Each structure stands twice: as structure tokens, then as C-alpha cells.
Chains A and B, each alone.
Chain A
Amino acid sequence: MKRSIIIFFAIGLFFTLGCEKLPVGNAFLSKAPGIDVTQDTVFSTIEYAERFLWSAYRTLRYGLNTADAGGKDDLLRRDYLESITDLCQSYLMDGGAVRNYYNGGYKATENGMSKYCLTQEGAFEGIRKAYLFIENIDRVPNVDPAYVKQLKAEALMVIACHYHEMYRNIGGAPSVFHAYSVTEIIDSIPRMTAQTTCDTIVAMCDRAAKYLPWKIANPEEWDGRFTKAAAMGLKARILLFNASPIFNSDSPFLAGTASTRKMTWHGKYDADLWKKAMDAAHDLIAQAEATGDYKIYHKPGNTYRKDFQDAYYLRGNGEMLISNRHVYKAQSSSSQTQGYYFYASVTWGCGLGTQELVEIFPMANGLPITDPLSGYNPNDPYINRDPRLYETVRVNGDTYRGRTAELWIGGRDRTNRTNTAAATGYPMRKFILDADVNTSYGAVVHWPYLRLAEIYLSYAEASNEFNNGPDAEAYRCVNIIRNRVGLPDLPAGMSKEQFREQCLVERACEFAFEEVRWYDIIRWKREDIFKKRLHGCDITKSGTTLTYTIWELPVRYWNTTFSPKWYLSAIPAGEVLKGYGLVQNPGWE
């Protein structure tokens, strides 16, 4: 009896000591070796490591509708950022503009479908990739140390670009300075002040500029990688934003904890910030003009329109400072392969120009249409205008697909009034071009993230502010842009305010649909533009007579119920509540 119990429990104990401790246990339960790719695999050769960096590049902002880049299809849900400015109206019913902005429905709890959702823009993904790259690239054997430095500088530029987007959209950014582990994240990631964020980005650009080539040596293979000029350009752009009244003012644009903590306000006006912006822009302009490697694009023999089109559309044209690429060619009209929706989306009601957009373009003689001497005829509104108008939206009577655009109601391009593809009367033309197989479906595309033209205009704007009026160099810089499309020089003797306004007009004309306008109106706190009722245009044809009827677009929430909170995006409430240190922006608490 006793013996049996002892035997029994001895064997029981033996088993319960654990299968894992038995040699047979772990051998049996371990898996076959050598089938998993890990971080060590990737950083074992330069080819693999580079591929990791390229996937970091892929997280860069892309303004055309894509579905493939880090969940970015939820960015305004396939809509254009321009559609929440005065230049553009969206009729995409399930788009973010219609569903979240026109009706004021956007909230801190809404994660997707906003113009900038901190956690859904691929920003932290890109930053993590870049830091992981920087932290591990030294492990790769047999690589030229100079090349390693260049690669690290490129990775740094990926981070800088993402920080710069955060800065423009939410203000002071979370301080992420290496690739975090899960446990670090849970502790504390505080939000930096606005000025520190800007300083951080500038420091990254400066550091990157040291190791990046001024221009790409073999563009046939590597056009699109970051250059020193790209770093200098990004620095100029962020310094202009930093100097602008939204943050650089004697009072915050809206009171709140984030303002008190200087995350959305610098605390006081500092004129010197304009100087920094001016100098940074001029450094680049001077170096570009000295070397001749970068210039405002012009090709002998081109029409003004063609020059302008190539300036934003063509890869490697010498004007492009930063050009972002997810695909090589645009796909067919409705194809969603590669997540490219932008051709299809214009037929769904995206990117419709407003009457205000059309009216912002001057006449070809350089005079605004409001000038009695301009020659503008409201009954034939589209002739003799700034050539950039025709390249920005499709207007009636312009050439389109080798024929004349018919945008009267019942015409080929606007078969009925409610046709969403032309609901305001002005379908988008920029990027879309003729929207046919021969010209654009199969065309090489990219996102013109930063062009030299912007630096010229930024310099003019900053210098006007710092010097309390435009000097000759400021004039020169604006006129270079105007002259490219055949517009004459600006008249001399403009006041500071006139010149400032002219710079914004020039930027609207040059960069419509290039994500410049939104940031211009918020950095100048242009409540008036937010409140402005916008318009569309119906053309009716009777015989050969065209009648132009301007009508009011549906009221936008902020036309009537405006708050400066709209200048910045909310931080997703779920992120704030995770309690690692994010402070909500003013008005979104």
C-alpha cells in the first residue's frame, strides 16, 4: 500500500516538474530554424538596409488621393486639403470635407477623415523607421562611412518632413527622439513648445544639409532622394510658418492650456523670427542662383502654360526641391490598384474650383479683375487671364482633350446641373490635365512637396514683414514667378499691407491644389476668408449666347459659427486620454 503511493507520487512529481524542463520537451516544441526575417537580417547588408530607408521615404506626405500609404486614404477620405479652403469645394459625399468640415462635425474624438490626424498620417511610422535606420545602420559591414552619413541625413529629413507637418497642423509636437519600445511609450512623451519644435526641425535640416549632396549626381537613377537644397528649402518653409502671426503674436490665437504652455503660441511677437525666415530663404535662393543647379523652370519654346504645368508636374525639372513618389505612373481612370484614386475621385466630386478661385487669378496683363482698367468682362470671364488659371481648373471654352471644354449646363462636360464632376462649374485640371488615356492616365506622377518658386515667394513675404515694406529684392523674387507665365512686374510703390496681400494672391495662383493655401490662411489667421460665403458658376447656353450665373455654395459651418480653433487640428482625444503627456489644442478640449 505504502509502496504504491510512493511510486505513484514519485512519478507524478516527475511529470509535474514540467515538460519544458525536460530536454525532450524543448527540443520537441522548438521550431525549425532559419525561416524568420528579423531586424538582424535587414541590417546585415546595405541592400536590405537601404530598402528599409526607402520604405521610410514612402511615408512622406502625398497630397493626391492614395489608399496605400499608412492608412492615408482616411485623410479627408480621398478629398483634397484644398477643399476646405476658399479655393475649392468638394461634392464627395463620403469625403471628409463634406462629412466633417462643412457641417462642423469634426471633433477631437473623430480619428479618421480629418485633414490631419496625428496618429494616422504615417508620421510616427516614418519617424520610427528613420530612427531605427539611424540607430542600426552602423551595424552594416563594409559600407563607405561617408555614404552612411548621407543615408542618415536622408533619414533625418524624413523625420524633419513629418515634424514639419505636425508643426503646421497641431503646433508643438510630441518629443520623439528615438525608436521607442512599448514600455517607454507608456511612461511619458511630452509635447514640446512650438518654438522648440521649430528649432528641432531647423536643427535637423541643418544637420542633414551638412551631409547631403547639393544635388543628385545621377538623377537617372536616384532623382527624388533628399538633397542639401531640399533641407534648406524645408528649413525656409518651417521658419516662415514659425514667424507667422498664428504663433508669433502678442496674444495666442485662442486661450487654452496648450497656449499657456507655449505649444500653440510663442508668448510674444518677435520680429526677428521674420528675419530668420527671410535669411533661410535667401541662403537657398543665393546658392541656387550661384550654382545654376536649381531655377524657376523654363524651357525655351514652351508656352507659358506648358512651363507652368511642367514646373509642378515634371520630375527632376530643377525647380523641384522635394518630390514625393508612391507610384511611377498614374493608373487608369477608375483603377484602384496602387490605391490611386485621384483620377476617379474628380468624377465623384472632388477638387471643384470655386468662383473665388477663378477670380483670384489676374488678367494676362497682370491687373486683378477688380481693376477697372484690367479689361475683365463678366460676360466673357475666361479670356485673357493669367495662364495659370487654365492649368488650375477647367474653364468653359478652354481646350480639353483636343476639343473645346463644354461646361455650360447640358454641355459635354456638364451634362446636368447636379453632375458632381462639375458641380461648381470648375472641375480640377491641375494633376488631372486632360484626364484621358493619352495625356495623363499613364503619365509619370509625383507630389510636388516643395518647389523653389515657394521659396522665392516666402522670401518676399518675410522680407516685407521684417523690413516693413517690400524692397527691390522682394519685388524681384515675386516678379520672377510672375514673369515665368508672362505676367508683367508688380507696380512699384506698394505698401507693406498691399505687398503682403499680393504675396498671398501669388501663392494661391501658383500653388492651388498643392497644399499651400490652407497653411497661408491659417498662419495669417484669416478669419475673414473662413467666414466668406463661396460661390459656384452656372453657364447656360441659349443659341450661341452664354449666360453666367454666380450662385452661393451651401453654407459652411464656419461661415456662421467661426472659432479660431479651426486653425489647428485637434489631437485625437483617445491619444490624450492615454495619458502619456499630450495636451489638447485650444478649442478642442
Chain B
Amino acid sequence: MKKHYTIKYLYLWLLLLLISYPGLAQQKMFTGTINDEKGNPVANAMITIKEQPGMRIFTDNEGKFSIMGEKGQILEVATRNQRYKSLRIEADQILITMSENDDMIPVGNRMELRKEELTSAIGIVKADELTKSSVRNPANALYGKIPGLTVLQNGGPSWNNNPDIFIRGVETFGIGSFVNTNILMIVDGFERPISSLSLAEIESVAVLKDAAALAMYGMRGANGVLLVTTKRATGKGLSINVNYDHGITKAFRLPTFLDAYGYASAVNQALDNDGLTPLYLQPELNRFQSGSSPYLYPNVNWIKESLNDFSTMDKFSVSFQEQASSVRYFAIINYDHENGLFGPVDLNEGYSTKSSGRKFNFRTNIDIDLTRTLKFTVNLAGNLGENSRPATSNDESDIFSAIYNTPSAAYPVYSFNPPDKAKKNWGGSTTYGYTNPVALISAVGYTLQGRRELMSDFILKRNLDNLLKGLSVEGGLSADISFDYMDNRTRKFLYEQLQPVIDPSTGAILDTIATPYGSTTTFTFSSSEPTHWRRTTAFADLKYSKIWEDNELSSVLLFQMEELSKPSKDNTYRHLLAAGTAHYGKAGKYFADLSLSYNGTNVLPKGKRAGFFPALSLGWKLSNEEFLKGSAVFDNLKLRASWGMSGNDQIIQNIYLTPWISTSGYYFSKTNSSNSGYREGRLASSPLTYETSYKSNIGIDASMFKMLDINLDLFYDKRKGILVETGGSISGVLGVNPPYSSAGITTNKGIELGLNLHQNISDFNYHVNGQLSYSKSKIIDMLEVYRPEEYLKRTGQSINQAFGLESIGFFKDADDIAASPKQTFAIVRPGDIKYKDQNGDNIINSFDEIPIDYNTKVPELYYSGSVGLEFKGIGIDAVLQGIANQTIYLNTPSIFLPLRSNTNISTFSDDAWTPATATTATLPRLSTLENANNYKPNSVWYVDGSYLKLRSVELYFDFPKNLLSRLKVSDARLYVRGMNLLSIDNIKIVDPEEIGITYPTISSYNLGIQVGF
């Protein structure tokens, strides 16, 4: 009870501090100049004096300023691109150089530090880099931008597109399908998805990688944190920025399927391989080839019938920012519109079944000085997105499933009767299904699906210099809501199957049977609200900073409560955080950071809810030591080391209880009345805790010869407390699902390297940037089930290591089969995959599966390279990004696994075994059957997933300033840009990042203009 009063008292005390007033002192005029590292003047930089809050001075176009103050006061400089420096006023003339080292880096939980003083591993990318992409989801602008940040593209149209994001690979694994590898995304200090934003509103994206940066996030940080900062008003006066971008989109890659003749021949070949009778007679094959009977023997290129080669996208944004007396605001509206690739969408009168997505983002970030010491910040943002598409039961992937899986020879688009095209019946067949792709696109009606999101932050900040110099208090609240809706207008339609009656001896067509299926209906309407969520966060913090002699201290104490609610039982997540961090610097050479956080979560039971996460990091700036000062080699050299803990509480809710579940019962009596049952669910997990990651990191930051920057980080993480199944160690005698246990242990180690070479030679400047991240995980303990062979064990391997049988070629003939170990999956025939008998028991079964190459989830190696050249305002930029050491499993029907269940066959299968190509074939024989022997995880279908992609290339032209100034335009740029243009990889037939049947990845060619006033 006592503490209860204490906290009330604390709040009251903070409130009193908020409304008290500071005093004033005596002044004189100082003047100064601010330049950047290239020697150019920095215009519009804001200068304040720490002791005199509320007063703001801006530099002019020559970088000059003059300000009233006192000697010994602290002068603070903030530039437009989030650079910051503070220094003591000592001379009347002040010369300040702002460099990259002065970048303000958000280090998490409401603290920022200058890059120069960082002791933790943090990577950052800023707006000018990000806006070189024309993407709707800002996450798609992050490929290869920050070492340690792995972004993997996914298919899906832009309005549903979310890449997979990992920080330093993965070092945990979920149970079953439960995902616990999500990183934490923070926007302006509050948890939010980056996909809710538009690229134009983002100022910077930072990645927190080591414990020193993550410990403050308690049990939410272990997978890494992505910190997004949105733009705020900087500089003087009003500035307006307008950006319009028009793009042409196309599928990055589409598979090529065999034409009807090729398909029919392949089916015959497959049937022959299976020892079955061929399906098509030679005259029928001829008809496919000649196209002489397009209705009965069609040859439909479904991709061509269903998809346009190109589509379009438009992006428009306009932003305003202004500093007006005590109010500063940044406001933006952004509109994205993209059309999908489906072609035949306008066949209906009165409506279109077009697939397209529209999204309107808005944001207003306002800072108000209520008094000279009390600042009020309001951020209001949101988005309204709506997309339309044909009303298939799932999403666009239903249609792609039909396009890819329906063979060219299946049926014609339309049957031939009646002759009036508008009333033609759709082609379909019982064998290949009633999923005519063109009909699915144009005739099933349409769906409107939308999402509305509102994000709001309210923060009050009070300077408490009157109480203690350097002390301030802050309190805030954020409330977000996201709501999805869906309206379906669905109809059905009539199909007609056309079947020729064939003379079995000659193949002549004797008759045609036309069978209609289904009927054309009018619209039915349905609507739903697929998901919604709401999140509320409240925080209060106390900041204290002090500079004395050559010492410097800044610190934060934070208390935060948050709640995320989703609409179902056990789907509310609450966290409580008390955290403190202190940064200490000595003489600009030695730095130390200490973070302590105490974090509680509602997914764990009472008494085990909270965890303590400390971290310590040290930095030594050698370049400020006497022996390196003025060195010709090193402009900057810093060593960093950190150790600390971070947690992860992404575990299934409520598993600390044993649930009792209603279940199937028993049929007593002679009647059909079942007596339903109850059963005991999985036993309460024990021990149950959050995951703890023990993270160590050492790093070097160096700048050399004024043209080369090097960043190197080495890390070693050990994670404990991963929730695993215990069935491998607890006896089956138990008789119920054994509890989960937080007993899993993994390690993860790796290296990150960033190199940046940049130079200015009068009007010419260039940069060449290379980044490389390598991480490799290892399972140390997972209470694995007993496996009889060492090579079968998952323990000791990477997380998500690929396991499968090892192919040693294909069976030549019956003798070969008889002489080989018996394969137990199916009856094998010549041309089937022959497996290596790993344990020498002469039987090939699941005990012969070995680890194959790498893991299937995250590439071990992720790298990128970018080049930029600029001459007199004309420039070119290109970004290449690649991965290596990842295995992918080619198990997509039709594209890789042909013909099963009347699916399709692509050119990928050209290399399939036939008796004639037995020596050169790389794939097993074709089969129309399930063929459990060939189509299981094995070294034929597990392939190297590496690729190197040209992510973006841009040619731009900056209009000369002197020309613009006459037009009252401050800057203007015209650009031509290509996104996601090329890939060098092994897969070739589809995008190696998206091998499934889904909406393909997209390339785009954009033309854009950006004008600032």
C-alpha cells in the first residue's frame, strides 16, 4: 500500500514541476558560421541556447547567424537533416562544422545521441536515401540499406505487400506455426507497423542491433528494433514540397508453361512412365499443334489471356512545414494508386472487376511552445486504403492459382455456343476444374477491401531547469486504431464442358458432347470486418543532462504502459516498463552507457511476469587522442564494445494453465445421439518464462583519408528460454500433451561490414557503398525427440535447417532398382529419384534424411552495393542487393512439380528424365500420379536460393538554383527510375524470393518530379 501512495505522490510532484517558471540572465551578441563537412554553408540551421529555451535563431544562406547569449552557455545547433551539436560559447566568433558524426541517432526509448558518441550497434538510413525508391510500403525501400537488416521481398500486390524483416538473422523458433521472430517496430517512440506510413513522411529509419541499444526495450527487444522517425518542422519559414511519380509496372518474372501440344505430349510421356495408357492419340496431338480445332483441342496461353503486360502506378505527395512563432508543424498528404495486372476486367456492363489499390496517407506533426518551458507535441496521422479485386474467395492468389495450374490444353476460354460473344459460356471441365482464370477475373463479381488507421500521439514536455539544471519531464499518450472491412458482390456463372467423342482406332472426332455446369446468377452481397486492433501507450519520463568540465552526462528514466487489443480471447497484450539509461562521455574520448530496464508482460503468470535487463557499453574514440589527432590517415576512429541482455515475450498466451476442452464424445445406444466429451488440454507449461538473449558486440567505426568510412561489427548472441516441446524427453506414459518448456537454447553469431567511399572533385562527386551482413544460428538445445542417427538431429544445426533425402541420380532400369536399397515411399520405376542409404540398413526411409545445405528461412549472407555519381546536378544512383547461403524448397505445383492432380507443367520440367535423356536429366521422370517417392523434401528440390538483384537505378537532374530562384522555387528534381529490374539467380523461371503461386513480384519504371518552394 505504501508504494501505491508513493506513485501518486510522484505524479503530483511531476505535475507541479510542469507549471512552475524559470528565471532570466544577462546577455551579449555572438556571431558565427556553420559549414558542413564539405565546406558548404549550412542554411536554415536552428541555433538555440540551452539556458534560454524558447529563443530560436536560423542561419542564412551563407550559414551565418548572430545570437544573444552569455559566455559559458551551451549553444545548440540543429540542422534540417537531423544533425545536432552542442558546444559551450567561448569566443565571440563561433565556427561550427556539422558532419555525419553529428547525426542524431535515436537510441531507443526517448533518447537520442550524436553518432560520434554512440557506443552501441545502430544502423541508420535517412530520408534522402529512402526516397530513391518508388514504393508504397516503406519497408520495401529498405533492401540493402542498413547492415544487419535483412529484408526479403514477398509477392502480392503492392497494397498487400509486406516483406519479411529480420535483424541479425534469427535466433529463435516458434512452436508449430506460432511466429516469435517478429521484430519490434517503433514509429516516433510508439509501437506501430512501418507499413502504416508512406515513405514521404519518414525522416529516418534506424536499426537497433546490440544489447546496449535493445536493453531499454526489456522483453520486447531481443529480435531487434526498427525505429522510424517521421519528419518534423525544421528550418525557418514555410516550405512546401511537391512530389509526383508516375510508374509503369510489370511482373518481375512470370513462369512459362508448355503450350497445349507440349502439355499433351508431357502427359503422354508421364503416363507412359507410370506404365499407364497414353491419354492423347497422335491425331489429337496434331490437333493441339495445328490449332485446327480450337474448342475441342484448345491451346490457351492463360497468362496472356489473363494478364496485361503492363500496368500503372501513381504517387503524389505534398508536404508543408513551417515555424511560426511558438508553433511548428509538418503536414503531409500522400496518395498512392496502383493498378493490378489482370486484363479482362471490363467485360461487364456497369462495373469493373479491376484489381487496384488506393491509399491516402496524412500526417500532421505539431510542436507548440505553450510557455517558454512547456512544449506540447501532437502527431496525428493515418491512412485510408481501399483496394478492389475480383470477388474470388481468397485474394488474388486464387486467380494466380487458376492461371498457373490450368494447362493450355484444358479447355477454351469460351465454349463455342451460342455464337454471340457476349453470351458465350465459359469453358471449364470436370477434370481441370471450374476455375477458368478469365472467368474468375471477369465474371465472379468484385470485392472492395479496405483498411482505416488512425495514429495519434500527445506529448507534454516541461523543462525543469529551475529545479535542477538539465532536468526535464515528459509525459505522453498514444492511441492507434486499425480497422479492416470487406464488401463482396459475388456472382456465379455458367460453364460448359466440351468433350469430343473419338474413334479410338483412328482418332477421328465423331461427335461433341457439351455439358453445362452451374448457372449464371445475379449478385449476392456480403460484408465482413476481417480484423481490427487498437493500441494504447502511456509514458512518463524524466531526462537529465549535464556538462561539467570535460564530462558529459545524459540520462532518461522512463515509465511506460501499453496495451494491444485484438478481437478474440487471449489476444490482448499488455506491457509495463520501467527503464533507465545513462550516457557518460569524458573529454570526447571515452564513452560509457548503462541501461537498466524492468519489464512486465501479461502473457506470463503472476510472479513470473517481469524481467530485468541490464546492458553496459563502452566506446573509445581514438581519433580524439593526442597520438591520432591530426593524423593523415584517420579522420575518425572509434572502438565500441557492449554486453547486455534483451528479452522476447512472443509466446502463446494462457499456456500457464491447463485448459479443459470440449471434444468428440462417444456413441452409446443404438441411435445417433453422441454423448460429447471433455478432455484435458496440454499441461500447463513449466518452466515458463520469456526468452533472454545475451548479446555481445564489438565494433569499429573509422573514417580515413576523408573519403572512406568503415563500420565493422562482430556479434555473438546466446538466447535462452526459448519455448520448446518437451515430448522428446517426457515419457509418453504421461498420456496427455506434455507441457511446453522454456528450455530451448540457441546461439547466433555474425559480422557486419559497411564500406563507403565518397569524394568531391569540384562539380563531380561520387560514392560507392558496400554492405555485408553474415549471421549463423545454431540450436544448442531444443529437448529434441530421440533420433537414432547423429545426422538426423536438429540440435547443432541452424534454425530451420533444410532436411531431406540425398539424391544420387535416377534409377536406370528394373535391374538398378532391384540392386539398390529398397525405397519405401512408393513403388519406384526407372527415372525415379534414387536416394543414398545414409545408415546402411538397405532401406530408404525417413531415417535417411540429412541436413541439406542451409536454412530455409533467412539467408546467412545478405549484402548490397550502391553507386552514385553526380556532375553539375545530373546524377545516377544504383543499388544492387543479394543474398547467399539460403536453401529454398521448390515445391510449387505446376511450376516445379508438374502434372499431379491434373495440374500444369512449366519449362522448368524440360530437364525431366526420359529414357532418352537418362544420362543428362536433372529432374526425375514425369508422372501423373502423386509419386510419393520423388515429390518429397530431397536434394533435387532443395536448391541454392542465392540471388543478386538490381533493386533500383535512378537518373536524376537537379535544376540549377539560380534558374529556380527566379521562379521562387527552392529546389526541383526530375528523375527516371527503375525498381527491381534484374536478378541473377538459379531459379530463373520465377523470382527466387517468391516461388509460390501468388501475385508476382513487380518491377516498375518511374518518372517523377519533385519541387520545393
CB contacts under 8 Å to B, within A10-32, are: 11-12, 14-26, 28-31
Contact with B along A214-237 (1 / 0, CB 8 A): 000001111111000000000000
B659 with A36: CB separation less than 8 A: yes
* A220-B670 contact given A16-B578, A26-B606, A29-B601, CB 8 Å threshold: yes
Q: How far is the CB of B826 from chain A (nearest CB, A)?
A: 6
- How far apart sit A338 and B672, CA to CA, in the bound complex (Å)? 14
A219 with B678: CB separation less than 8 A: no
B795 near A: Cβ within 8 Å? no
Contact with A along B441-481 (1 / 0, CB 8 A): 00000000000000000000000000010110000000000
CB contacts under 8 Å to B, within A111-145, are: 118-120, 123-129, 132
Identify which of A270-278, A323-331, A542-550 touches chain B: A323-331
B824 near A: Cβ within 8 Å? yes
Q: Which residues of A contact B (CB under 8 A)?
A: 1, 3-4, 7-8, 11-12, 14-26, 28-31, 35-39, 41-42, 48, 50-52, 54-55, 57-58, 68, 93-94, 99, 103, 105, 109-110, 118-120, 123-129, 132, 174, 176, 179-180, 182, 185-186, 189, 219-225, 315-316, 325-329, 444, 446, 572-575, 577-578, 580
CB contacts under 8 Å to A, within B670-717, are: 670-672, 674-680, 683, 686
Q: Which of A125, A186, A219 contacts B735 (CB 8 A)?
A: A125
B598 with A575: CB separation less than 8 A: no
B178 near A: Cβ within 8 Å? no
B-side contacts of A189, CB under 8 Å: 731, 733
B786 near A: Cβ within 8 Å? yes
Q: How far is the CB of B649 from chain A (nearest CB, A)?
A: 11
B734 with A128: CB separation less than 8 A: yes
Identify which of B624-632, B660-668, B949-957 touches chain A: B660-668
B658 near A: Cβ within 8 Å? yes
Q: How far is the CB of A549 from chain B (nearest CB, A)?
A: 22
B-side contacts of A57, CB under 8 Å: 666
B833 near A: Cβ within 8 Å? no
A28 with B574: CB separation less than 8 A: yes
Q: How far is the CB of A11 from chain B (nearest CB, A)?
A: 6
A31 with B602: CB separation less than 8 A: yes
Identify which of B166-174, B553-561, B851-859, B866-874 touches chain A: B553-561
- How far apart sit A41 and B468, CA to CA, in the bound complex (Å)? 58
Minimal Cβ-Cβ distance residue in A for B661: A37
- How far apart sit A15 and B581, CA to CA, in the bound complex (Å)? 12
Q: Could you list 20 examples of A-B contacts with CB < 8 Å?
A: A8-B557, A18-B578, A19-B578, A19-B598, A20-B606, A23-B3, A28-B576, A28-B602, A29-B600, A36-B657, A39-B680, A54-B666, A54-B668, A55-B664, A93-B827, A125-B736, A128-B736, A222-B668, A225-B668, A580-B731
B574 with A29: CB separation less than 8 A: yes
B672 with A329: CB separation less than 8 A: yes
A-side contacts of B657, CB under 8 Å: 36, 38
B670 with A315: CB separation less than 8 A: yes
Minimal Cβ-Cβ distance residue in B for A36: B657
Q: Which of B546, B664, B686 contacts A182 (CB 8 A)?
A: B686
B-side contacts of A118, CB under 8 Å: 732
A223 with B668: CB separation less than 8 A: yes
Known: A12-B557, A25-B576, A182-B734. 17 other contacts (CB 8 A): A1-B548, A8-B555, A12-B596, A31-B572, A54-B666, A58-B666, A103-B843, A105-B822, A105-B824, A105-B845, A124-B732, A127-B735, A128-B680, A185-B734, A219-B669, A224-B669, A327-B667
B677 with A55: CB separation less than 8 A: yes
A444 with B596: CB separation less than 8 A: no
- How far apart sit A127 and B736, CA to CA, in the bound complex (Å)? 10
CB contacts under 8 Å to A, within B805-825, are: 822, 824-825
- How far apart sit A48 and B660, CA to CA, in the bound complex (Å)? 11
- How far apart sit A180 and B843, CA to CA, in the bound complex (Å)? 38
Minimal Cβ-Cβ distance residue in A for B684: A182
A-side contacts of B601, CB under 8 Å: 29
B598 with A42: CB separation less than 8 A: no
A-side contacts of B732, CB under 8 Å: 118-120, 124, 572, 575
A-side contacts of B10, CB under 8 Å: 14
CB contacts under 8 Å to A, within B636-669, are: 654, 657-669
Contact with A along B922-935 (1 / 0, CB 8 A): 00000000001000
A-side contacts of B932, CB under 8 Å: 94
Q: Which residues of B contact A (CB under 8 A)?
A: 1, 3-4, 6-7, 10, 468, 470-471, 542, 544, 546, 548, 555, 557, 559, 561, 569-570, 572, 574, 576-580, 596, 598-602, 606-607, 609-610, 612, 654, 657-672, 674-680, 683, 686, 726, 728-736, 738-739, 785-786, 788, 822, 824-827, 843, 845, 847, 932
B557 with A4: CB separation less than 8 A: no
- How far apart sit A8 and B467, CA to CA, in the bound complex (Å)? 13
- How far apart sit A353 and B18, CA to CA, in the bound complex (Å)? 91
Minimal Cβ-Cβ distance residue in A for B672: A328
The 3 closest A-B pairs by CB, nearest first: A119-B732, A55-B677, A128-B735
* A326-B667 contact given A36-B657, A52-B677, CB 8 Å threshold: yes
B557 with A58: CB separation less than 8 A: no
* Of A15, A221, A444, A446, most B-chain CB atoms within 10 Å: A15
B786 with A58: CB separation less than 8 A: no
A129 with B734: CB separation less than 8 A: no
Q: How far is the CB of A451 from chain B (nearest CB, A)?
A: 17
- How far apart sit A577 and B932, CA to CA, in the bound complex (Å)? 31
A573 with B667: CB separation less than 8 A: no
B668 with A29: CB separation less than 8 A: no
A-side contacts of B580, CB under 8 Å: 12, 15-16
B-side contacts of A574, CB under 8 Å: 728, 785-786
Minimal Cβ-Cβ distance residue in A for B468: A4
Q: How far is the CB of B616 from chain A (nearest CB, A)?
A: 15
Q: How far is the CB of A221 from chain B (nearest CB, A)?
A: 5
Q: How far is the CB of A491 from chain B (nearest CB, A)?
A: 40
- How far apart sit A94 and B559, CA to CA, in the bound complex (Å)? 60
A132 with B680: CB separation less than 8 A: yes
Q: How far is the CB of B408 from chain A (nearest CB, A)?
A: 30
- How far apart sit A446 and B672, CA to CA, in the bound complex (Å)? 12
Q: Which of B4, B668, B735 contacts A224 (CB 8 A)?
A: B668
A180 with B733: CB separation less than 8 A: yes
- How far apart sit A14 and B13, CA to CA, in the bound complex (Å)? 15
B-side contacts of A35, CB under 8 Å: 569
A-side contacts of B843, CB under 8 Å: 103, 105
A182 with B739: CB separation less than 8 A: yes
- How far apart sit A26 and B734, CA to CA, in the bound complex (Å)? 34
A185 with B731: CB separation less than 8 A: yes
Minimal Cβ-Cβ distance residue in B for A130: B735
* A185-B733 contact given A4-B546, A42-B660, CB 8 Å threshold: yes
A220 with B669: CB separation less than 8 A: yes
B-side contacts of A105, CB under 8 Å: 822, 824, 843, 845
Q: Which of A37, A55, A99 contacts B665 (CB 8 A)?
A: A55
Q: How far is the CB of A184 from chain B (nearest CB, A)?
A: 9
- How far apart sit A22 and B822, CA to CA, in the bound complex (Å)? 66
A-side contacts of B734, CB under 8 Å: 124, 128, 180, 182, 185
A-side contacts of B672, CB under 8 Å: 328-329
- How far apart sit A31 and B655, CA to CA, in the bound complex (Å)? 13
* A58-B664 contact given A15-B578, A28-B576, A93-B826, CB 8 Å threshold: yes
- How far apart sit A536 and B328, CA to CA, in the bound complex (Å)? 92
- How far apart sit A105 and B602, CA to CA, in the bound complex (Å)? 49
A4 with B600: CB separation less than 8 A: no
Q: Which of A24, A48, A123 contacts B678 (CB 8 A)?
A: A48
B598 with A15: CB separation less than 8 A: yes
Minimal Cβ-Cβ distance residue in A for B683: A182
Q: How far is the CB of B244 from chain A (nearest CB, A)?
A: 47
B-side contacts of A30, CB under 8 Å: 602, 606
Minimal Cβ-Cβ distance residue in A for B614: A16
A55 with B663: CB separation less than 8 A: yes
Q: How far is the CB of A78 from chain B (nearest CB, A)?
A: 14
B669 with A223: CB separation less than 8 A: yes
A-side contacts of B578, CB under 8 Å: 15-16, 18-19
